[in-house]
Structure 1
Amino acid sequence: MWMERKTFIVNNLQYLIRYAAENDAKSLSELRLQIDGETENLDREKGEAYIDEIGFRKLINKDTKRSNHLFLVAEVNDRIVGFSRCEGNQLKRTAHKVKFGVCVLKEYWGNRIGKSLLNESICWADSNGIKKITLNVLETNEKAIMLYKSCGFEVEGILKNDKLLSDGTYYNTIVMGRFNS
């Protein structure tokens, strides 16, 4: 079973991973907007599919109530610097799996925050009867692909010419999955 809070120290940086709480909603709204503007590795450009504070409150509330959902945040000095979600569904044929997503502020890359969020999500999934975790990753995000493979994820497919980036080029999305038998 996953613990309520875990502290990590990497590169002399101490950070905390914990469950998201409703009072995190405003910070999460601002954080997501900032992160979307820092990288093209995510699906959105800055401001697209914007989720305001109320939207994040609803999302956190929903995730807290459902046994096949997990919403984690990473904090440095009481500031949220990243988050991850595992989202399942209620359909019997696919209730065994969740979709994973993660984002971390660029200034905190290289401190294993994303890896910690992923590892804690895997521990949660394995201890809660979730058999499969899926995710999508941009083909150019080689560090993330290596991380996912090191955690047992396999390439399951490629969505060709799936994303149009700022350089005017279409890029593939790699679909990955980890099955816990």
Structure 2
Amino acid sequence: MIINQKEFFVKDLNYTIRFATKSDAEKLSDLRLQIDGESENMDREKGEDFIDPSRFADIIETDTSHARNLFLVAELDGRLIGYSRCVGSDLKRFIHKVEFGLGVRKAYWGYGIGKNLMKETISWADLNRIKKIVLNGVLETNERGIEMYKRLGFEIEGTMKKDRVLSDGRYYNTYIMARFNEC
């Protein structure tokens, strides 16, 4: 699905949020690898489940033509600094919802990039009469992320106990969070 690009100016940082294009594939591959290595909030460690540029190009092509998929990027001076992706199902029993994922380079945390990616996604979901956006595996220690999601109307639906083991060798819970739309 394609949306119009938007410009944002936050704390002297001017960035754009727009839909991903096939020409972003190499940059997305590099960005995802970098983000995975910057924070334990992500599902993967750096290099795990690597997506090469060719596979990203295929994903972008699929998402562009699928009515319930959305792939957005945040761009600053020609560099990608964040992304978000929603994936819907064609199964009739799940057609009302999408699953959501988000990543922002750590150097750009605090500039509203994650929040603005979320807001654009929520607007798209509302326009497309999607009733539920699901975030799977929000790490319990990701307090900033959890608070941002709550401010945007998400709620904790459940807890996955001892769902993730981090670099300290300890197990952590993750939350399933969702936003409901009565459209």
Which category of TM-score, normalised to the shorter sequence, fits these structures? over 0.9
- Whole-Å separation in 2 of the counterparts to 1:94 and 1:35: 30
1:57 aligns to what? 57
Q: 1:70 and 1:97 mapped to 2: Cα distance?
A: 13
Per-residue CA deviations over 1:1-49 (Å, capped at 9, x if unaligned) read x851100000000000000000000000001001100000010000000
TM-score between both structures, scaled by the size of structure 1: 0.98
Q: What's the secondary structure of 2:41's corresponding residue?
A: coil
Match of 2:91 in 1: 91
Structure 2 counterpart SS, 1:93: helix
The answer to whether the 8 Å contact 2:33/2:50 transfers is: yes
| TM superposition outliers: structure 1 runs of 4+ over 3 Å | none
Alignment of 1:1-181 (within 5 A): 3-136=3-136, 137-181=138-182
CA RMSD between the two structures: 0.8
| Contact preservation (8 Å) 2:3, 2:19 | no
Offset at residue 129 of structure 1 (A): 1.1
Q: Secondary structure at the match of 1:123?
A: helix
Aligned equivalents of 1:178, 1:123: Cα separation in 2: 12
Paired AA for residue 19 in structure 1:
F
CA–CA distance in 2 between the matches of 1:54 and 1:129?
32
Share of identical aligned residues, percent? 57
Matched-pair contact (CA < 8 Å) for 2:64–2:70: yes
Q: Where do 5+ consecutive residues of structure 2 fail to align?
A: none
Residue 46 of structure 1 aligns to which amino acid in structure 2? K
Question: C-alpha displacement at 1:148, in angstroms?
Answer: 0.5
Could you report, residue by residue, the CA deviation over 1:92-127 in whole angstroms, capped at 9, with x for unpaired residues? Answer: 000110011100111111101000000000000000
- Cα separation, 1, equivalents of 2:162 and 2:21: 37
The alignment partner of 1:37 has SS state of helix
| Equivalent position amino acid for 1:142 in 2 | E
Per the TM alignment, residue 67 of structure 1 is displaced from its structure 2 partner at its CA by 0.2
